[in-house]
């Protein structure tokens, strides 16, 4: 990046908040995508750390005039390479915009700068008794701006839905540097086209989110976890469909292969409570009263029984519950180094028994295996293609394509929650019609005619340089 | 409309499903906007009644080639003139596309043609024990396509939110006649820009909705209504904020002036259960267990007490409850003929006490009154400007402008649920910045370059003729 631009950027954010040193910049180039799959970051990037929407606006105005790509960096917890700059870019790190502006208990809304992490928000809410925020995409280092831009999901979508359901307002900087406030502390607003909902999930390609207004909620006091094991993944997922239909509304319903649970437990030195069967469910309940908690536990136990569960254990103490969740969330680290590509397909929930069964058989036909972890009540599956002797297997493209075709045969999507990013930018046209792709490209042009906002993400839009 | 076009339309839908007779067409020109406020319908319209998405597509292709405006007619229950054609148009009535295609109990979703009414859906669900659909915009003659296109709200948004939260998939016909399927039976889908959420609430100006996939839900069995009266609207609305914060999640919380409740009860020959005070709340509860219902009733009673309620009565029997709801929903008919303009402003819920108080005082300063009915927990107010001796008062524009300025001073919106339509098309720029208006206009151009889809609605986009 040339001297003049560096000087102008320094003029906006100050010398202390600009990084040009390659070593320092290198910490801002990648997200959590598996290493063999990462898009290669461009090497001529600089990092700026603005302190306000006005500074973001000034940076983007400059970038627009100079036709320089801009990539926003949030918590870096993404799983599709959206945060990796593939052109020489100005990387805008939101780390200093980390102020919680208001916890408004009357409207039950929180107003935050985009760099506030989920951990920050949850910590702040601990000081407001009985109030919580439900969406939980696994890594609490995720920042609010990123959670909006990726429409984050996670395990608790069963009951509370995804980020989109809870976002009431955003402040954004457009590609020309202008600032828009969209939505607000309103529960109903039908004035004109909803640009906020278009920007949610657009992965930093239509606008830069600098402020977020979220709904917060009264928290249920009584929680419990049930761990149930089944002989087959089909039985486990059939039980889940019945749980949802029964009106019991769990906080989360997670599936994981027993093999993976046992391996993780061993590695962490913890105890996994169910030994029989091969397919495990973790069902987390959260209720307002002890009676409701007890009633729902009993209802779930009966449903598991009907679906031939081998065991169904109640994680009664806080410690037992914490162990179960530690094993669930620690499992990825156990297998991470063996993974070439971790997927994020989603199908209609009722198709899960068949889809998962066919997925097993498909992978089996390649004489390999796939680890299956699923937000099973949402129909959202994280399975993988494994490295073979540490190397990317020859068949990886072919197997991926067959997985996608299987997913499409159930009217599924290639990404339920992680997003397109740069990882799936070539795959999106497999799922979408040419006409829909064309509309997306035209919308991108409306918002970002020079294609400076996170180019190469979501769409292949070419930059003119 | 010229002979050739009529013949081509006849070729698409058949002679029985095309109306050209002015008398017959006149039944398709207006919605439920108050008569003195209605936009004037264009007189050279024809009505076609397609039976399928393919026929809609063929009609729109023809309209596109011939540059003829297309206005979709659903249930005609709208309140902003969106369904009124202000150019000589092809009116597409969805009345024959009234088939419920699937009640999918496994995925808990309903798939319907766009002409299915809310009444049709609710009737069908009666045959599926324990399953319901929560959004209820008052008039059950509303069609699904219209409920999507207007992002319908209604009284039950307190607990269940608006239509947007429940729509999982739509099939649409674009302005060039091409057909897109967006979303599906997926609970999570982050593949590309969410065009579905952009089309929701766009009032037939970006695409024509022909099929809808909605989530359906286990129904709570135990319901009750509480009617509480307060001396002031400020006390009533403060009580509501506490109810919401307490974690009791009512199905609906409706405010209405006592005067209006008493007048309506008298006219209908029914009994209104609370006599004292001047500001009435109706709080509807719906719970899974009798215990939960009882606990929540008690909690609400205590909150009302704390806020100096004059009376709080439990509508215990089905008949008492039905009477209360009949009075609430019948009130509009009592005052309808006196109304010049009924509003739909919404503000942050916590601002309701002050906003409503100031609204009273503002209207009082014009030596008139305003009827206030509110989805009070949503911050959504329907008040009105009355006719004076049957005539539109001189001050109507001035008073409207002051109401809007008051609303904006609380960061409110001019329309919480009814939409912009043709009624508020001149008002939208009061609320939105020029840059946001410009983006909306450009998005309209992307979807509908010739401006044939419901022109004059939402935006002032000019047609080139």
- Flag if B245 and A458 touch (Cβ within 8 Å): no
Whether A264 and A174 map to the same domain: the answer is no
Q: Do B186 and A218 touch (CB under 8 A)?
A: no
Question: Which of B187, B415, B439 is closest, CB to CB, to A191?
Answer: B415
> Bigger pLDDT: B314 or B55?
B55
Residue of A nearest to B238 (CA): A106
Helix, strand, coil percent values for chain A (each to nearest 5): 40, 20, 40
Nearest to B66 by CA among B86, B88, B51: B88
Contact across the interface for B198 and A200, Cβ inside 8 Å? no
Evaluate if residue A461 carries a pLDDT over 80: no
Cβ of B436 within 8 Å of Cβ of A348? The answer is no
CATH number at residue B17: 3.30.43.10
Residue B461's pLDDT band, with cuts at 50, 70 and 90, is: confident
Query: Do A338 and A236 have their domain in common?
Result: yes
Alpha-carbon A339 to chain mean position: 19
The answer to whether the CB of B401 falls within 8 A of the CB of B407 is no
B387 is a domain residue: yes
Domain end, chosen from A400, A417, A434, is at A417
Q: How many distinct structural domains can be found in chain B?
A: 3
pLDDT confidence of residue B463:
78
Verify whether the Cβ–Cβ distance B446 to A442 is below 8 Å: yes
Looking at the fold, whether B323 and B228 belong to one and the same domain comes out as yes
The residue of chain A with its CA nearest to that of B347 is A186
Average pLDDT over residues A435-461: 96
- Pairing type for strands B279-287 and B380-382 reads unpaired
Compute the nearest-CA separation of B331 from chain A (Å).
Answer: 22
The SS3 call for residue B255 is: strand
Mutation for A interface: B107, B192, B206, B245, most A CBs within 10 A: B192
For the cut 90, the answer to whether the pLDDT of residue A91 exceeds it is: yes
Residue A420's closest chain B neighbor by CA?
B191
Q: Kindly report the average pLDDT of chain A as a whole number.
A: 95
Pure H helices in B26-117: 53-66
Q: How many CA atoms lie within 13 A of A187 on its CB side?
A: 28
**Which residue of B57, B168, B191 to mutate against A (max A Cβ within 10 Å)?**
B191
**Residue A210 within a domain:** yes
| C-alpha–C-alpha distance, residues A59 and B264, integer Å | 60
**Over the stretch B417-459, which tens digit does the pLDDT of each residue have?**
999 999 999 999 999 999 999 999 999 999 999 999 999 999 9
Across the interface, whether the CB atoms of B458 and A246 are under 8 A apart is answered no
Contact B194 A197 (CB under 8 A): yes
Residue A464 in this model has a pLDDT that exceeds 80: no
**From the candidates A189, A249, A438, which should be mutated to test the interface with B, based on the most B CB atoms within 10 A?**
A189
Q: How far apart are CA A75 and CA A116, in angstroms?
A: 9
Task: Give the DSSP H or E segment for A334.
Answer: helix A318-335
Q: A140 and A235: one domain?
A: no
Helix extents (H) in A246-317: 258-268, 290-306
Determine, for residues A106 and B178 on separate chains, whether the beta-carbon distance falls below 8 Å: no
Lowest mean pLDDT among A132-136, A213-217, A460-464: A460-464
d(CA B333, CA B109): 35
Which residue of B193, B285, B425 is the best one to mutate when testing the A interface, meaning the one whose CB has the most A CBs within 10 A? B193
Check whether B315 has a pLDDT greater than 90.
no
Which residues have CB under 8 Å from A26's CB, separation 6+? none
Q: Is residue B120 part of a domain?
A: yes
Q: Which of A93, A152, A84 is nearest to A118 (CA)?
A: A152
Instruction: For chains A and B, count residue pairs whose Cβ atoms are closer than 8 Å.
Output: 244
Structure-derived torsion over alpha carbons of residues B269, B274, B279, B283, reported in degrees to the nearest 10: -90
How many angstroms separate the CA atoms of B346 and A461, rounded? 39
Q: Please tell me the distance from the alpha carbon of residue A230 to that of residue A234, in angstroms, as a whole number.
A: 9
Cβ contacts of A381 within 8 Å, gap of 6 or more: A343, A344, A345, A346, A347, A352, A355, A356, A359, A372, A373, A374, A416
Alpha helices (runs of H) in B315-364, residue ranges in sequence order: 318-335, 352-364
Q: CA-to-CA distance for A324 and B24, rounded, in angstroms? A: 67
Question: Sign of torsion, CA A162 A168 A171 A176?
Answer: positive
The sign one gets for the Cα dihedral A202, A207, A208, A214 is negative
The CATH number of the domain holding residue A151 is 3.30.465.10
Q: The domain spanning residue A408 has which CATH number?
A: 3.40.462.10
Percentage of chain A with pLDDT > 70? Answer: 100
- Angle at which helices A352-364 and A233-245 pack, to 10 degrees? 160
Helix (H, G, I), strand (E, B) or coil at A151: coil
Name the percent of chain B in helix, strand, coil, to the closest 5.
40, 20, 40
Domain identity same for B68 and B127: no
Pull the structure tokens for residue A374: 């699923």
Fill in the DSSP letter of residue A377. G
pLDDT computed for residue A199 by the predictor: 98
Q: Which residues contact B201 (CB under 8 A, 6 or more apart)?
A: A190, A193, A194, B149, B150, B151, B164, B419
Residue of B nearest to A378 (CA): B187
Cα(A148)–Cα(A156) distance, rounded to whole angstroms?
16
Does residue B11 lie in a domain region?
A: yes
CB count in 10 Å sphere of residue A334: 18
Predicted confidence at residue B329, as pLDDT, reads 86
Interchain contact, A186 vs B458, CB within 8 Å: no
Please answer yes or no on whether B348 and A182 come within 8 Å at the CB atom: no
**Chain A residue nearest residue B174, CA to CA:** A435
Distance CA A105, CA B85 (A): 45
The stretch A424-437 carries a mean pLDDT of 97
When scoring B81, B176, B190, B415 by the number of chain A Cβ atoms within 10 A, the one with the most, hence best to mutate, is: B190
If asked whether residues A137 and A204 sit together in one domain, one would say yes
| pLDDT tens digits, one per residue of B242-280 | 998 888 999 999 999 999 999 999 999 999 999 999 999
Pairing of strands A311-315, A217-218: unpaired
Beta bridge partners of A345: none
Show the domain range for A157.
100-218
Rounded to whole angstroms, the Cα distance separating A111 from A124 reads 12
Task: Kindly indicate the confidence band of residue B286, based on its pLDDT and cuts at 50, 70 and 90.
Answer: very high
pLDDT above 80 (res B71) = yes
User: Would you state the pLDDT for residue A392?
Assistant: 95
Q: Is residue A427 part of a domain?
A: no
Query: SS3 of B421, please?
Result: coil
Whole-angstrom distance, CA of residue B205 vs CA of residue B213: 20
Helices (H), B41-112: 53-66
Same domain membership, residue A228 and residue A271: yes
Report yes or no on A448 lying in a domain: no
Sheet holding B167-173, edge to edge: B100-104, B109-113, B208-215, B167-173, B179-183
Asked if A188 and B164 come within 8 Å (Cβ–Cβ), the reply is no
Measured at the CA of A175, the angle between CA A170 and CA A181, to 5 degrees, comes to 25
CB spacing of A202 vs B180 below 8 angstroms = no
CB B200 within 8 A of CB B167: yes
Beta bridge partners of A92: A48, A72
Task: Nearest by CB to A190, from B106, B187, B416: name it.
Answer: B416
Q: What's the CA gap between A187 and A184, in Å, rounded?
A: 9
B265 and B402 together in one domain: yes
Residues A210 and A288 grouped into a single domain: no
Closest C-alpha to B44, from B90, B12, B7, B82? B90
Using pLDDT thresholds of 50, 70 and 90, give the confidence band for residue B299.
very high
B118, B196 contact by CB (below 8 A): no
Q: Which residues contact A294 (CB under 8 A, 6 or more apart)?
A: none
Nearest by CB to residue B192, choosing from A107, A184, A440, is A440
Q: Which residue bears the tokens 């050209």? A: B20
Does residue B298 form part of some domain? yes
Q: Is the pLDDT reported for residue A462 higher than 80?
A: no
A126 φ/ψ angles, rounded to the nearest 5 degrees: -60, -25
What is the Cα Rg of chain A in Å?
Answer: 23
CA distances for A269 relative to A144, A323, A327, angstroms:
34, 10, 10
For residues B134-154, average pLDDT: 96
Q: Specify if B395 maps to a domain.
A: yes
Element housing B103 (H / E): strand B100-104
Binary contact (A186, B347; C-beta < 8 A)? yes
Report the chain A residue with the minimal C-alpha distance to residue B423.
A191
pLDDT at position B247 is 85
pLDDT above 80: residue B168: yes
CB contact (8 A) between residue B190 and residue A150: yes
Within 10 angstroms of residue A337's Cβ, the number of other Cβ atoms is 10
CA distance B279 to B352: 13
Q: Are residues A224 and A213 in the same domain?
A: no
Task: For residue B190, give the nearest of A347, A349, A418 by CB distance.
Answer: A418
Contact A45, A36 (CB under 8 A): no
Identify which of B289, B379, B433 has the shortest CB distance to residue A186.
B379
Angle (CA) A337-A342-A346 rounded to 5° is 155
* C-alpha distance from B24 to closest chain A C-alpha (Å): 32
Exposure string over B291-307, b if 16+ CB within 10 A, otherwise e = ebbebbbebbbebbeeb
Q: Is residue B70 domain-shared with residue B138, that is, in the same domain?
A: no
Q: Which residue of B has its CA nearest to A296?
A: B288
- Given this model, what pLDDT does residue A75 score? 98
Q: Which residues of A touch B241 (CB under 8 A)?
A: 106
DSSP states along A170-196: EEEE-TTS-EEEEE-S-S---SS--HH
The full 3-state SS of A191-257, as one line of letters, equals CCCCHHHHHCCCCCCCCEEEEEEEECEECCCEEEEEEEEECCHHHHHHHHHHHHHCCCCCCEEEEEE
ipTM above 0.95, yes or no: yes
| Contact assessment for residue B330 and residue B322, using Cβ atoms and an 8 Å cutoff | no
Boundary of a domain, candidates B93, B115, B138: B93
Mean pLDDT value across chain B? 95
Integer Cα distance of B440 and A193 in angstroms: 6
The answer on B211 and B232 residing in a single domain is: no
Among residues B218, B252, B279, the one where a domain terminates is: B218
Q: Do A245 and B431 touch (CB under 8 A)?
A: no
Residue in A closest to B420 by C-alpha: A191
Return the residue of B nearest to A179 by Cα: B435
């Amino acid at each position: 990046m040339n001297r003049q631009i560096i000087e102008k950027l320094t003029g906006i954010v100050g010398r202390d908040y600009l990084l040009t040193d390659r070593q320092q910049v290198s910490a801002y180039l990648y997200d959590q995508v598996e290493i063999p799959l990462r898009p290669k970051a461009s090497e001529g990037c600089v990092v700026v750390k603005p302190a306000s929407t006005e500074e973001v606006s000034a940076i983007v105005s400059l970038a627009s005039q100079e036709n320089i790509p801009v990539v926003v960096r949030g918590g870096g917890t993404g799983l599709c390479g959206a945060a990796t700059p593939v052109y020489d870019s100005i990387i805008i790190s939101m780390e200093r915009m980390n102020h919680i502006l208001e916890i408004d208990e009357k409207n039950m809304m929180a107003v935050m700068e985009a760099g506030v992490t989920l951990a920050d928000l949850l910590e702040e809410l601990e000081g407001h008794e009985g109030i919580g925020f439900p969406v939980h995409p696994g890594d609490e280092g995720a920042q609010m701006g990123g959670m909006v831009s990726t429409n984050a999901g996670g395990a608790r979508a069963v009951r509370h839905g995804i980020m989109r359901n809870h976002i009431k307002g955003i402040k954004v900087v457009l590609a020309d540097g202008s600032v828009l406030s969209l939505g607000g502390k309103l529960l109903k607003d039908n004035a004109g086209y909803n640009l906020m909902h278009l920007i949610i999930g657009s992965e930093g390609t239509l606008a830069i989110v600098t402020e977020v207004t979220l709904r917060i909620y009264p928290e249920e006091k009584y929680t419990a976890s049930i761990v149930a094991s089944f002989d087959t993944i089909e039985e486990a997922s059939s039980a889940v469909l019945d749980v949802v239909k029964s009106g019991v509304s769990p906080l989360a319903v997670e599936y994981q292969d027993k093999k993976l649970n046992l391996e993780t437990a061993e590695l962490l030195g913890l105890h996994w409570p169910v030994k029989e069967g091969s397919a495990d469910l973790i069902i987390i309940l959260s209720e307002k009263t002890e009676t409701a908690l007890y009633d729902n536990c009993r209802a779930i136990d009966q449903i598991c029984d009907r679906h031939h569960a081998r065991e169904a254990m109640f994680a009664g103490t806080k410690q037992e519950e914490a162990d179960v969740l530690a094993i669930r969330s620690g499992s990825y680290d156990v297998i991470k180094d063996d993974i070439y590509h971790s997927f994020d397909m989603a199908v209609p929930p009722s198709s899960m028994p068949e889809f998962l069964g066919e997925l097993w058989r498909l992978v089996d036909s390649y004489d390999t295996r796939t680890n299956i972890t699923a937000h099973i009540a949402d129909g959202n599956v994280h399975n993988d293609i494994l490295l073979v002797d540490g190397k990317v297997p020859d068949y990886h493209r072919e197997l991926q394509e067959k997985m996608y075709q299987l997913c499409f045969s159930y009217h599924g999507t290639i990404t339920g929650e992680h997003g397109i990013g740069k990882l799936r930018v070539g795959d999106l046209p497999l799922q979408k019609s040419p006409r829909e792709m064309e509309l997306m490209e035209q919308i991108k042009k409306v918002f970002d005619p020079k294609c400076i906002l996170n180019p190469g993400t979501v769409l292949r839009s070419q930059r003119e340089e």
